[in-house]
Structure 1
């Protein structure tokens, strides 16, 4: 009985009380996350490449 009540109340809350964002807002947010992720990945890649080159140069000295 308790589980049934929980499921029914959860469904009612999700349907009537939660404010869901508009689809266009979700699209804009997804594009923003994608662009930010790509910029971050490129930055980390450049830092890694630079570090690799510095370490290779350093080890070649010995």
Structure 2
């Protein structure tokens, strides 16, 4: 059990003293950038899915026609 406690203490020390954290303003702007591109990418996939769905539906309507 002492080994786990020591590991946690050393981990916090590592995070506190040796890790270089991104400035808050940069983290906010990068988060917004990721959110915007995620929305754009999901809308593009939705559009392609809609087009393919309509094409496949049209194809099957022509076959069974």
Q: Superposition RMSD on alpha carbons, in Å?
A: 1.0
Q: Give the aligned partner of residue 26 of structure 1.
A: 27
Q: Any gaps of 5 or more consecutive residues in structure 2?
A: none
The number of aligned residues is: 62
Shift of 1:22: 0.6
Shift of 1:2: 2.4
SS of residue paired to 2:33: helix
Q: Which digits, 9 at most, give the CA deviation of each residue in 1:16-38, with x for residues without a partner?
A: 11111111111111111111101
Query: What does 1:10-25 correspond to in 2, within 5 Å?
Result: 10-25=11-26
Give the 4+ runs in structure 1 shifted more than 4 A: none
Q: Give the aligned partner of residue 41 of structure 1.
A: 42
TM-score, normalised with respect to structure 1: 0.88
